[in-house]
Structures are given as C-alpha cells and as structure tokens.
Structure 1
Amino acid sequence: MFMEELRKRLNEDMADVNWNDIKPHAQRDAVIVVHENLNLLDVGVAIAQDDKMVVEHWITEQLISKPSNQQLSDWNINPTQLFKTLIVQPFVLVQRLGRRE
C-alpha cells in the first residue's frame, strides 16, 4: 500500500516548469537531469525509497546526472525552456520538454 500512496503523491507533485523557476535549485546543486527514456515518476519513486541498486545503475548508464556546464549554459540562454519536474527532497528531478533549436 505504501508504494501506491507514494506513487500517487509524487504523481500529483509533477509539474511543467520553466528554467527560470528551476535555476535557483541548480544554483544550490539540487537538480538532477533524468534522461528522456526514463519515466520521471519511476525515478522519483526509486530515489524516495533509496533504491540504491537502481539509482546507481542509472547513474552508471548516465541516465540520471547533474546538469552539465553546457546544459546550464544552454538553459540560461533560453530561460523559458520547459521541463517536467518532480521534487524529491532535497532534489528537483527534471526532464526537458520539447526541443528548441
């Protein structure tokens, strides 16, 4: 039952947010970029449950990571870039929405 409640709560907490609103979290090194092939909710649940094996696998495969300097630079140039976000304290998980060229 706990897993269902956790998934429901985290799902309700997901939001689409622009880079300007995420930037303060990046400045405190709390942003985690989630690869587009992963389900943001699944990642949030794994982190919330401290599922080290799964999370370490994603890190090793570079499916979740801190934003690179290049990403931060790109997003600062385009502060209205939208992201799907999920807060799992102390982190803010983000997935970029759409492609802006």
Structure 2
Amino acid sequence: MTDTREELATKVDIADWLSLRAHLERGGVIVVDPLLELIEVGTALAADEVQKVQRWLSTGLLTKPSHEQVQTWDADKGKIFNCLIISPYVLIQEPVKP
C-alpha cells in the first residue's frame, strides 16, 4: 500500500475547472472534502477499500459536484483544483487557502 501511496503522490496535479468539466459529463468527477487527504482517498479507491469509501460518501466527505457548485465553477473561469485520476474517476479538491 505504501508503494501505491507514493506512486499516487507523484500523480497529483493542478487543473482548471474547464479542463475537468468534460469528466463531469460522464459522471466521473468526485469532490474530496478538504478534511480528507487527496492521496488517502486515491489510495483507498485504488485498493478497493469499500467500507472506508462508503463511510466518506455517507458522511458527505466525498460527493458528486452539486448543481450549485458547477454553476459557481463555470462562472469562475480561473477556478483551479488539485486533482488525481483513479480511473474511471477524477478526484478533485479545492486547494486549501493559507
């Protein structure tokens, strides 16, 4: 699992919303709450840790983008996210503001 975590850490990227929006159309975008670490979520998905992922989903720490979020992001042409692809999903997380 450590190898997977280290490998995924190298795959975290930054992308603007317009680049990510195409993945929304196929239902592949998952929003990761800032309380979670993006790499931890990616590792859990890659390892098929169903109970952990279900817990995050049930508590709202992992969600599909809401209609309101999409409208807000569409209006902000420069909106960026940290992202991690765990096929077929694209995990996105708003960067934490210092």
TM bracket (short chain): over 0.9
Report percent identity of matched pairs: 33
1:66-81 equivalence runs, <5 A: 66-81=64-79
Measured in 1, the distance between the counterparts of 2:33 and 2:89 equals 16
* TM-score using structure 1 length: 0.91
Match of 1:24 in 2: 22
Measured after TM superposition, the shift of residue 20 of structure 1 is 1.0
Measured in 2, the distance between the counterparts of 1:20 and 1:81 equals 8
Segment of structure 1 superposing worse, 3-12 or 52-61: 3-12
- 1:15-43 CA-to-partner distances (Å, cap 9, x unmatched) read 01110110111111100000011000000
How large is the Cα RMSD of the aligned pairs? 1.1
Match of 1:7 in 2: 5
* TM-score using structure 2 length: 0.94
Match of 1:95 in 2: 93
Measured after TM superposition, the shift of residue 98 of structure 1 is 5.1
Measured in 2, the distance between the counterparts of 1:97 and 1:39 equals 11
Contact 2:34 2:96 in 1 (8 A): no
**Which 4+ runs in 1 deviate beyond 2 A?**
none
* Residue aligned with 1:13, SS: coil
Match of 2:38 in 1: 40
Measured in 2, the distance between the counterparts of 1:52 and 1:98 equals 27
- 1:66-85 CA-to-partner distances (Å, cap 9, x unmatched) read 00000011001113111000
Measured after TM superposition, the shift of residue 97 of structure 1 is 2.0
